[in-house]
Amino acid sequence: DTISLTAGDITVNDGGGGGCDTPVVTDGMTTTPTVTLSNCVGNGTLGITINANVSQDLVSNQNSASSASATVTVSNSISCPTGYIPVTGNAFYGTSDFCVMKYEAKLLYDTNGDGDFSDASIVADGNSSNTYNFDTDYETPTELIKYKAVSEISGRPWVRMKRGENGAATGQGALEACQRLNTQEGVSNKYDIISNDEWQTIARDIA
């Protein structure tokens, strides 16, 4: 038997995971070749079929096309925390893929102030008695630890707050609450208030 398997003999069965580099064939002259697909940019399944006439037996009978291979699933989507959804970036606005809260932000308030939010509940902030007032409480470390922005379907939106002053001593608001999630979730530079370009990216994606 003779075998000569090359990249041109491979048909990629693209179920959404494609956009790969040209297939690479290893040991293409043997009975155990390996086909590698790399740098695939899609989201979905991928498989291959070997084309006809790649090999022949001793009496020159050539092979038929193979059956489709088993498929693999390719995922290039970003992984978002619970309560967040992925948004595909937009080159026009200079945005990469990012996550955004699925629901309007709610105020999760930790009554005992230990910072673990095990006994916390979503509260209506900034009410007439001036409780849960983030604008002033944020400036007091013992009160700051009680506040956390969460993406939850239930509860009233967290609305009575300023935009924020990016770390200034006064005028704390949404900006600081979003950035504080980095500390609360134990990560670095992952959370921030949504930017105008990100808003526009979402609007274009919807349109």
Q: For residue range 121-165, list pLDDT tens digits in order.
A: 888 765 545 566 666 666 677 777 888 999 999 888 887 777 777
Q: Is residue 14 situated within a structural domain?
A: yes
Q: What distance in Å separates the CA atoms of residue 124 and residue 134, rounded to the nearest whole number?
A: 11
Q: Do 185 and 135 share a domain, yes or no? A: yes
Our count of domains for the chain comes to 2
Q: Which of 96-105, 113-122, 198-207 has the lowest mean pLDDT?
A: 113-122
Mean pLDDT of 16-34: 91
Q: Do 59 and 92 share a domain, yes or no? A: no
Q: Do 59 and 91 share a domain, yes or no? A: no
Q: Do 67 and 141 share a domain, yes or no? A: no
| Domain end among 74, 99, 126 | 74
Q: Going by C-beta distance under 8 Å and a sequence separation of 6 or more, which residues neighbour residue 47? A: 12, 13, 15, 68, 69, 70, 71, 72
- Which pTM was predicted? 0.64
Indicate the pairing of strand 98-101 with strand 44-50.
unpaired
Q: Provide the residue range defining the domain that includes 31.
A: 2-74
Per-residue pLDDT tens over the stretch 47-99: 999 988 887 777 778 888 888 999 999 988 888 999 999 998 999 999 999 99
Q: Do 42 and 93 share a domain, yes or no? A: no
Q: Is residue 79 situated within a structural domain?
A: no
| Domain end among 74, 95, 119 | 74
Q: Do 179 and 116 share a domain, yes or no? A: yes
What are 83's two structure tokens? 């309560």
Q: Do 89 and 18 share a domain, yes or no? A: no
- Residue 169's pLDDT band (cuts 50, 70, 90): low
| Domain end among 18, 45, 74 | 74
Q: Is residue 99 situated within a structural domain?
A: yes
